[in-house]
A and B are shown apart, each in its own frame.
Chain A
Amino acid sequence: MTPSDASGFTPADESLDDVDLELLDGIREVFQAIDPMPADLPERIRFCLALRGLEVEVARLAAEESQPSLAVRGAELSRTITFDSDSLTIMIRIDPNLDGTARVDGWLAPPERREIEMKTAADSLTVASDEQGRFAFDRVPRGMAQLVVRSAESEQSGAGRSVVTPALIL
């Protein structure tokens, strides 16, 4: 073992010998094998990070449930997902369309008129919520998507942060 450095304690790494380092390599390999990160996760994260520059409030997944879709027979499920942020709750229901796209119905709480963007890998769709906070996207291409609830009117002082959700797989 090497002596302590000038700061008076032995840096933690110096207590590791080659067998320890090899063991840590082995531990890393074992956990990579039994519990690998989903291969597409970094891509989804990079997709979300394309929003940088925007002052955003991050909404977190609060609940998700699935039930058999009434609209389309077969294994397709209708999903209801709730996101919470400090200022807003966003609830969406995703239903499969017959043409292979997805319909997304959403509600904002507290209800208000906001501009709402659905970012997809190809482009983005924009709708507005009504006074009850309801909004709908009729046809969203399958794949990765992310909701951005644009900031409220800029004339309201204090308002101003957009609320974004994590990437969804539609």
Chain B
Amino acid sequence: MDDRTPVRVRASQPERTERIARLVNAARQGSDAALGEIVTELSPLLWQVARAAGLNVSDAEDVLQTVWMRLLAHLDGIHTSEALTAWLVITTKREAWRVSAAGRRQLPADNEVFSMLPDQGPGSEEQVIVDDQRRILWQAIGQLSPRCQELLRIIAFVPRPDYTALAAELGMPAGSIGPTRGRCLAKLRALLAGDLEGSSQ
């Protein structure tokens, strides 16, 4: 049974972060085009951060705009792709909390960074995933703890070399978030192995 996705060529992540770093420098020196490219590059990540924090679509749209506008005042202190990614992700989380607190819900007392529950679970969304392997993956993600779901959802969109810096910025030693990610991925792999056995009957 073919249980492996075909090998894809990964975009070189170090190349991507170098490109972002160049764009940050150009943006700091006043290039609107560079700033626009950064928006294109990193908004999909921030969208997932905002949505994983439980915001509805219009609140998430608003939060992203607020975050990017606030970046203008902080751009001078940001020199690397890592610092930019970390600042954007953390600010998006803070803005999302602020909107959630002001709106419909009370924040949980546990303010741990990755503890916010995504309000997503497998459901009608499956209909838009036509590919069998992707549907199996989505179902497996739905069986993970909310913390793992949010963690993997965000990490999957972070330019990879920036991840360690992000963990540090979030106030976690790099060594502590790595293993959490490792556990979440290990759990997902175990779930997928189980699903694949089950689906072969």
Which A residues have a C-beta under 8 Å from some C-beta of B? 9-13, 15-16, 19-35, 37-38, 41-42, 44-46, 48-52, 56, 58, 60-62, 64, 164, 166-167
Contacts and interface: CB of A to CB of B under 8 A. Distances in A.
A167 B65 contact: yes
B125 interface: yes
Interface stretch (B18-26, B109-117, B129-137): B129-137
B59 A24 contact: no
Given A26-B137, A48-B65, A64-B58, A34 B167 contact: no
Interface of B: 5, 7-8, 10, 32, 35-36, 39-40, 43-44, 47-48, 51, 57-59, 61-62, 64-66, 68-70, 72-73, 95, 98-99, 102, 120, 125, 128-129, 133-134, 137-138, 141, 152-153, 155-157, 160-161, 163-164, 167, 174-175, 177-179, 181-182, 185, 188-189, 192
Indicate the member of B39, B58, B95, B167 with the most A CB atoms within 10 Å: B39
B156 to A, nearest CB: 4
Main secondary structure of the interface of A (DSSP, over half): helix
B146 to A, nearest CB: 15
Given A13-B163, A27-B156, A62-B102, A49 B125 contact: no
| List of 5 A-B pairs having minimum Cβ-Cβ separation, nearest first | A12-B178, A37-B47, A166-B65, A28-B156, A34-B125
Given A12-B177, A34-B128, A27 B65 contact: no
Contacts of B72: 49, 51-52, 56
A60 B99 contact: yes
B168 to A, nearest CB: 10
Contacts of B8: 22, 25
A28 B157 contact: yes
Given A13-B164, A62-B102, A23 B62 contact: no
Contacts of A11: 164, 174
